Structure formats: structure tokens, C-alpha cells
Structure 1
């Protein structure tokens, strides 16, 4: 289990780290995604998945998992420090974007220009077979919700989850 100081240090290390051309940094994006999850009355596991969904871009996590896409590095980190459900949602948040573009053509128009560019690099829309396999997983609704909170978390004036709330959620999940 990570200590409170380790959690703070991990997220403080995201401050100022560019978020691929978006107007928020990685820390703001992470805590804003978690704030959207909390506002949607998500449970603590999903709030953690929301906060940690891009943790694969954090310098220590990326260094420990060199060459892995950020969602896979983040999921590897989460498997060691969170729950299997949180790790799965983190690993699948990119696939959820590909899925949503496939099943909801209007979704593409809601993506930021940066997200549209990354969608191309991530494989574009899923095939019907990929979409059916994704949809069949019992936690696919979690990854879809995470993706939608992720998409909404690019507002420099948007709400962020206070770090103490994130720590409390982490402690409830890891000790409960």
C-alpha cells in the first residue's frame, strides 16, 4: 500500500507535466477526471481508476515500464497498488474511446483535436468483433464511464478532486 506521502508525491510529480497539447497539465487532468467520477457517484474503485488512468505517463511509472503504452504501464502500476477492477478500467480507457467511436458516430465530434490525433495512433475505431469482445466484459461499463470522465477533464477552470479526498478513497479501498 502506498503511503499518504507517496500518493502526494506521485500526483505532485504530474504537476506541470504537459498533457499532449491539452490546456491542462497531467495533475489537473487526473484530479479533474476523479472529480467527475465523484460527481457521478462512482464508487471508490472507479474514483481511483479515474485519478490514476494516465499514471503510466508519470516519470517513475514510465521509467519502470519503458516502451509500454501509457494505459498498459498504468495498469501494471495499478495491479501492484490498486484493485484488479481499477487496473482493468485503466488499461481499457483507450479501448473505450475506440469502442465509443465505433458504436456512437456522434462521439467522435466531442473529442478534442489532441484526442482525435491520438485516436488514429491508437488504432482508430474498433472492428465489430473487437467491439463485441469489449462489450462482453463485465467491467466494460466502468471503462466507458472512465473514458467519458477523461474526455470532460480538460478544462483549466474545471473542478478537481482534493488530494485528501483521493487519499481517503485509496485508504478505504486498500484497507476495506
Structure 2
């Protein structure tokens, strides 16, 4: 699939577009980790599915790092309001097609790491070396004021849960279904969202 103009992405083609990215770019390394990007995201989705999560959480776990691929989107993406931070960039791309229950998890999965480091004394020990390194780059644990503000998000429980799956989904020995196993989940959400906007 050729890189479309941002405005040509629709509810009818967004899932196929994301699937094409997984197929072409999924083997990209996940810097500092022992898994590829697709292994990582598919493990997150599988953990959500195994936990009996609903469609929105499965989708959020699957797509939380899609912002690493924003160079797949138009060269004028920044002009379209898409930042180059992978959490914000991914959410900005998905905002048109997915509900906030999904996009908030994508947008805030980095902040959730900072939140949990400030609120859960055992959480830091769960982080991989690469996540510890990026924690410093991302601002370190939240301040008390940041924690209080972050906790106001109506999707806070989902955001934190996706973060836990994010941290767990880094095992090179795990086998997962491929992207297309989860495509019907995304299609249901996108269709529901499109119907609601109609």
C-alpha cells in the first residue's frame, strides 16, 4: 500500500493501512529490547485478550506504540497537528477513527510509566533496562502535582492496565497471533465510532 495523503485515510481503509505497516515494518527492532516492534505490540494485545479484556483495551494494547511508525504517514504530518513524540503522534493518527478509551491509552502510556513510578513502590523494579533509560529522558517519576492531575483522566484505569501489558510484552520466547487475528476487533471499533459520528 502506498503512503496515502492523510485525508484519504478513512474508516474503510485505516485497519488495512495499519495492517500493512505491521507486515512491512513489524520486524523493526524495538531499541534496547529483545523483541521486535510487532512482537511487542502483539504480545500486549495477547495479554489483553488472555485477561478477558474488551475490544477497546485489546486495541489499545495492540496500537499503543503505533506512533513509532508515524514516518509511514504523510510528510506534512506535523502540519496536520501530529507531533513527533510517539505517544502523542500515535494518538493523533488514531483520533479520527477510535474512541478516547483507546486513544487515551496510546496518548498516555509513556506518562503512565512516570505515574506508576511515582505511585507504586514496586513498579520501578518491573521495568526493563531500556524502559529505565527512557524514563530519564521522559522526565522521571511524576511530581505530586502531576500525579494528581493525571489521576483525573476518566480512562486512568485502562491507561494503567495497558501500561502493565506494555511492560510485560517483551518476551522473545512468546508466540502470538498475527495482526490479522486482531483486525476484526479494530474493524468493530472503527465501525462503531464511525456510526456514532454519523
TM over 0.5: yes
TM-score, normalisation: structure 1: 0.92
Q: Aligned pairs, how many? A: 176
User: Paired residue for 1:18?
Assistant: 29
Q: Does 1:104 align with 2:105?
A: no
TM superposition shift of 1:90: 0.4
Q: Does 1:80 align with 2:84?
A: no
RMSD between aligned residues:
1.8
TM superposition shift of 1:61: 4.0
Residues 27-79 of structure 1 deviation map (CA, whole Å, 9 limit, x = unaligned): 11111111111111111111111111111111314953475210000010110
User: Paired residue for 2:17?
Assistant: 6
User: Paired residue for 1:41?
Assistant: 52
State which of 102, 115, 135 in structure 1 corresponds to 2:131: 115
Instruction: Assess, with a 3 A threshold, how the Cα gap between structure 1 residues 133 and 89 changes in structure 2: closer, same or farther.
Output: same
Unaligned residue ranges in structure 2 (runs of 5+):
1-10, 193-198
Could you say which structure has the larger radius of gyration? 2
- Contact in 1 for aligned 2:32/2:129 (Cα 8 Å): no
TM superposition shift of 1:134: 1.1
TM-score, normalisation: structure 2: 0.82
**Aligned partners of 2:117 and 2:16: how far apart in 1?**
39
Name the SS of the counterpart of 2:26 in structure 1: coil
User: Paired residue for 2:42?
Assistant: 31
